[in-house]
Amino acid sequence: MAWTDERVDILKKMWGDGKSASQIATELGGVTRNAVIGKVHRLGLSNRPTAAKAAPKADATPKPTPKPKKTKVEAKKEAPAEPVVQKPIPRPRPIITAGKPLPPQRSATEVSAEALANVKKIEEKARKLTLMQLTERTCKWPIGDPATEEFWFCGHPVEPGKPYCETHVSVAFQPMSSRRDRRTSR
């Protein structure tokens, strides 16, 4: 369906008359409610005249019921009710720590010397698999520069539910407690 000038004119008129997008789509045929809404926004028609909404309907407004008149004695006993003013509930403001240095933290890429030694040992014993030799049971840790012939994947048996062997998992994934500690120290 193409938006011809005639269809756009119908859309503008119906939108100005306060018709819903569904009603306009039904009238035009061949378009969805969302297509009508999109076209309205592209045409810049999204703000409707508020006069139609602001005008109260004559028959829809309930009429106030008359209150029984009070005697002079009853009127003196009752104090005039003061209007209730509700104060807005204050929202908590976020604590802004801009400019304050964070305490020293271990880098996310920082690995212990022991873990590096283990990685070095395991990579010397790597099965040196190519990309096409990898399976769901082989470690997918890349070793070397992919632009050279000296590039392969570890190939050792993987940890259950992980893509790497035990040694590479210890380097790749941080324990939950250390991440939690770092998050709370900020």
What is the enclosing helix (H) or strand (E) of 177? helix 176-184
Phi/psi for 143 (5° steps) reads -130, 125
The full length of the chain comes to 186
- What are the 10-residue block averages of pLDDT along the chain, 186 residues in total? 86 90 90 89 75 51 63 59 71 62 57 78 86 93 88 92 90 66 56
- Gap between the Cα atoms of 10 and 35, Å rounded: 14
Phi/psi for 6 (5° steps) reads -65, -45
Residue where the block lists tokens 């209150």 = 67
Helices (H), the chain: 5-16, 21-28, 33-43, 51-54, 72-77, 113-124, 166-172, 176-184
Is 0.75 topped by the overall pTM? no
Closest CA to 129 of 117, 141, 120: 141
Phi/psi for 138 (5° steps) reads -110, 145
At residue 63, the pLDDT reads 63
Outline where DSSP puts E strands in 49-114.
Answer: none
- 86 token code pair: 């509700």
Residue where the block lists tokens 């890349």 = 142
At residue 155, the pLDDT reads 93
Q: Are 57 and 27 in contact (CB under 8 A)?
A: no
- Gap between the Cα atoms of 168 and 130, Å rounded: 17
At residue 150, the pLDDT reads 87
3-class state of residue 143 by DSSP: strand
3-class state of residue 37 by DSSP: helix
At residue 147, the pLDDT reads 87
